[in-house]
């Protein structure tokens, strides 16, 4: 399917870019699909002779050979694309979703608002019939690097335990932790910032 393509380069400001590469033999077609909010990033389709950039919803280019320039991009009719590739679209995995769980300072106690978020997470896991959950712990910048590394680990484990107690299978949960690195709100050391005291739960 991809033999005719030299490479695909994906970039842009959006978090998600949906690609459909269809065709067999010497010809391939690349179609950029929007995310649920209607946004797309940028996709560069390149061969030995040059490249084309796709940055609009339902925009497409065709590659007939690795030593031929990709065709001029054109925007396809959304309805026709959905009808033509109905089976492929229905088989596409759901877009991952991420929830943020926040904590009171210095420990593993979840904030009141985040207790409701946990219930939403459990519902989403069951509705999507998910078999891959990522639980990633973080802290603010109060305390030493080692203290925060352990605290972020304990927060991840605490959230994972809550999910398991609500019926989520333990074996589908992957736990990671980052201490005070990867802050949502950049702060100097010693700043107690709620937005950084978090666990990110990604459901795939």
H runs (alpha helix) in 59-135: 78-84, 86-91, 112-128
Judge whether 30 and 8 are in contact, CB under 8 Å: yes
Domain boundaries, the chain: 7-91, 97-203
Per-residue confidence in pLDDT tens, the chain, 204 aa: 333 344 454 443 333 344 555 554 567 888 888 876 677 778 888 888 889 998 899 999 988 888 889 899 999 999 998 888 888 777 777 789 999 999 999 999 999 999 999 999 999 999 999 999 999 999 999 999 999 999 999 999 999 999 999 999 999 999 999 999 999 999 999 999 999 999 999 999
SS3 content of the chain, % helix, strand, coil (to 5): 30, 30, 45
pLDDT reported for residue 148: 98
H runs (alpha helix) in the chain: 78-84, 86-91, 112-128, 145-165
Judge whether 96 and 199 are in contact, CB under 8 Å: no
Integer Cα distance of 91 and 20 in angstroms:
12
How many helices, marked H, and strands, marked E, lie in the chain?
Answer: 4, 11
**Which of 173, 118, 182, 172 minimizes the C-alpha distance to 149?**
182
Q: Indicate the CATH number of 97-203 among 3.30.420.10, 3.30.110.70, 3.30.1330.60, 3.20.20.80.
A: 3.30.1330.60
How is residue 13 annotated by DSSP? S
């Amino acid at each position: 399917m991809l033999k005719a393509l030299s490479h695909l380069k994906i970039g842009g400001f959006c978090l998600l870019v949906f690609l459909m590469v269809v065709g067999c033999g010497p010809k391939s077609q690349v179609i950029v699909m929007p995310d649920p909010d209607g946004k797309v990033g940028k996709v560069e389709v390149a061969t030995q002779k040059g490249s084309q950039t796709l940055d609009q919803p339902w925009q497409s280019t065709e590659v007939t050979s690795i030593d031929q320039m990709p065709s001029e991009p054109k925007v396809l009719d959304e309805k026709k694309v959905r009808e033509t590739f109905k089976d492929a679209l229905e088989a596409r995995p759901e877009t991952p979703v991420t929830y943020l769980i926040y904590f009171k300072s210095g420990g593993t106690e979840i904030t009141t608002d985040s207790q409701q978020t946990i219930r939403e997470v459990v519902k989403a896991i069951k509705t999507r019939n998910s078999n891959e959950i990522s639980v990633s712990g973080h802290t603010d910048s109060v305390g030493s690097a080692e203290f925060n590394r352990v605290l972020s680990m304990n927060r991840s484990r605490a959230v994972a335990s809550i999910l398991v107690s609500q019926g989520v299978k333990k074996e589908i949960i992957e736990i990671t932790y980052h201490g005070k690195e990867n802050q949502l709100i950049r702060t100097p050391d010693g700043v107690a910032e709620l937005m950084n005291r978090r666990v990110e739960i990604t459901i795939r």
